[in-house]
Amino acid sequence: MKVSIKINLLITVFLVSACGGGGGGGSSSTEPNTPGPVTNVSINSFIASSYSIQQSESITLSWSSSNATSCSGSGDWSKSSLAAIGTEIISFDNVGSYSLTLTCVGSNSSSDSKTINIEVSANNSANVSINSFVASSYNVQQSESITLSWSSSNATSCSGSGDWTEASLATNDSDTILFADVGSYSLTLTCVGSNSSSDSKTINIEVSANNSTGNIYDQVKESYCAIPNDDRSTYWIDNFNSPVINSENYSFQTGNGFTSQGQWINGWGNNENQYYTSCSVDSNGTQYSQECNSVNNSTENAFIENGYLKIQPLYLPTNKLKDPYCIGLEINENTTCQERENGWDGLWQFTSARITTQSKVVLSPNSEVTVCFKLPKGMNNGFWPAIWMLPQPSIVGPNYISIDKSWPRDGELDIMEHMRNHNEHEIQSSLHYGNSSPSRYKYAIESVPMNVNFAESFHSITLKWETDKISFYLDTQTQPYVVWDKNNLSDFNTYYWPFNENFHLIFNVAVGGDNGGQPDINSTTKTSNTFCTDKDCSNHNIPDEHRMLIDYIEVKSLN
């Protein structure tokens, strides 16, 4: 062994000497022999084809290194043996954040590591979706049945809950349910998928007493309104859950009249006594109300409270509203309404609100419109509440008055109004049409039992609006109380049927006028017990008995 070592050393010395150094003609080097530089491992690159993917998708990892003898993966990528330069495809089955580390080592025990992070989200294309969940009827009578039908995408199973307990349902199927008892029922369908996503939809069914033994009004209830259901291709509802009167849907008409063809029409053409207020401000900075809440777009006459739109006519015996027109005369012309308007003091003792959806929520034929409402008490003493429709104009003038539509030729459709000739258990629906004023019209008066009249309980009217045909339904009744079919009405052999055009909604409570009756402000048993006298209606124990309340407005297509 000693000899072997010596020989190796001599060979080494000889080789070094033979190689020489410098340019000294082959003379031996006098510098000592030193080792070369250490070659450490370096990962030059470690990249992914994508760093954010969806569930069940894959990525390609690529890497290269220098001076490495082997590499390995760790973290959320467990690989014990990898080449120094290579690629690998990885698939991710679950949603989450993943950390992948590549470590490479060399023969001199040096090493290098790099880490990349991958974010995996749910695959939306694989998420469960309930495409439809509908009932054959949403208002049935006791001991009648309905058929539920549903379809879903990407679901592995479905179930029923609420008032419909079914642990296992097919993903696309139907089910028939019998309702033995009167009441309101909530049925929920829930479908789940293999990726743990789920979807749910709920429909509501109203079951009334069987007419063979009674009618829906045998049981006294707070509300007899039909239950809203989003079951059509086009659907819109406002159930007034926000305190804001949404200016994207509604506008306020103001004042006591309007201009038509250059002529001022007092009392809105009906000799009405009220001034309609709003939060609007005129060019002088004068507000068209006494108590505007600009945040909620509400006034003393119209506001949302406890989930109801409330329209409140006021009688102001002392703090009367001064007409902004009269204030403008004083500011701009140094005169008064008394001088300009034949002694009129410019003060209004009755105020109310008139709200329109003109140019915002536009209604078309082949729609179904339902309004759930409750009317003020004492309606024969000056109240004239109405929920109605006028044609949608192409040209709109000041105060949302139509320029290109004329009354009555272009139509008026009254869903509900209560006039002085009606009792509290009666309402009227009407059509107005014809070539000149006064209009031609059709009307129907519908009634409910006195103990559940329109001032005691909420009721709904549904307008089923078809081309050439209009039908009205009360509450959950399945038969219309009136049908007007153009093809069966001889009037429309002569007159234009305007009800195949677009319309918009109006809600208002007028005071007095031709059809509201004369408000009696002298009797302590009539007007003083009927009208509120301030925004909070502090002169009454139950303020809502003296307002028109709207619970919801629902508009949907017939298909």
Extents of the domains making up the chain:
42-123, 127-214, 254-352, 354-557
Round to whole Å and give the CA distance between 165 and 159.
Answer: 8
CB atoms within 10 A of CB 530: 23
Which one, of 299, 303, 289, lies nearest residue 243 by Cα? 303
Which one, of 237, 176, 181, 211, lies nearest residue 477 by Cα? 211
The pLDDT, as a whole number, for residue 380 is 76
Q: Which of 164-168, 455-459, 462-466, 494-498 shows the lowest per-residue confidence on average (mean pLDDT)?
A: 164-168
Q: How confident is the model at residue 266 (pLDDT cuts 50, 70, 90)?
A: very high
**The CATH number of the domain covering residues in 42-123:** 2.60.40.10
Mean pLDDT of 163-175: 91
Strand partners, 469: 466, 485
Q: What mean pLDDT is reported for the chain?
A: 88
Mean pLDDT of 218-247: 94
Round to whole Å and give the CA distance between 504 and 496.
Answer: 19
Q: Give the dihedral sign, CA 476/228/411/260.
A: positive
Q: How confident is the model at residue 19 (pLDDT cuts 50, 70, 90)?
A: very low
Question: In the chain, pLDDT over 70 holds for what percent of residues?
Answer: 90
Round to whole Å and give the CA distance between 377 and 525.
Answer: 12
Q: Is the pLDDT of residue 15 over 90?
A: no
- The two tokens of residue 20 are 């020489």
Mean pLDDT of 32-61: 82
Q: Is the pLDDT of residue 222 over 80?
A: yes
Round to whole Å and give the CA distance between 323 and 344.
Answer: 11
Round to whole Å and give the CA distance between 29 and 12.
Answer: 13
Q: How confident is the model at residue 1 (pLDDT cuts 50, 70, 90)?
A: very low
H helix or E strand, kind and range, residue 6: helix 2-19
Question: Which DSSP string do the residues of 194-217 spell out, in sequence order?
Answer: TTS-EEEEEEEEEEE--TTT--TT
The pLDDT, as a whole number, for residue 527 is 46
Q: Which of 46-55, 202-211, 364-373, 419-428 shows the lowest per-residue confidence on average (mean pLDDT)?
A: 202-211
H helix or E strand, kind and range, residue 330: helix 324-332
Range picked from 77-81, 173-177, 282-286, 351-355 for highest mean pLDDT: 351-355
Tokens 């049981």: give the residue.
Answer: 219
- Top pLDDT among 4 and 228 is at 228
Helix (H/G/I), strand (E/B), else coil: 371 = strand
Mean pLDDT of 32-48: 77
Please give the CATH superfamily to which domain 127-214 belongs: Immunoglobulins (2.60.40.10)
Burial class (CB in 10 A: 0-12, 13-18, 19+), 312: buried
Burial class (CB in 10 A: 0-12, 13-18, 19+), 157: middle
Domain covering 354-557, topology: Jelly Rolls (2.60.120)
Q: Do domains 127-214 and 354-557 have the same CATH topology?
A: no
Contact 42, 64 (CB under 8 A): no
Q: How confident is the model at residue 27 (pLDDT cuts 50, 70, 90)?
A: very low
| Planar angle of CA 88, 91, 94, nearest 5 degrees | 150
Q: Is the pLDDT of residue 31 over 90?
A: no
Contact 181, 164 (CB under 8 A): no
- The two tokens of residue 92 are 């991710």
Q: Summarize pLDDT for 98-153 with one digit per residue, the tens.
A: 999 999 999 998 999 999 999 998 776 678 999 989 888 898 887 788 989 999 99
Q: Summarize pLDDT for 405-463 with one digit per residue, the tens.
A: 999 999 999 999 999 999 999 999 999 999 988 889 999 999 999 999 999 999 999 99
The pLDDT, as a whole number, for residue 388 is 98
The pLDDT, as a whole number, for residue 38 is 65
Torsion angle in degrees (nearest 10) through CA of 26, 27, 28, 31? -110
The pLDDT, as a whole number, for residue 436 is 85
| Planar angle of CA 546, 442, 434, nearest 5 degrees | 115
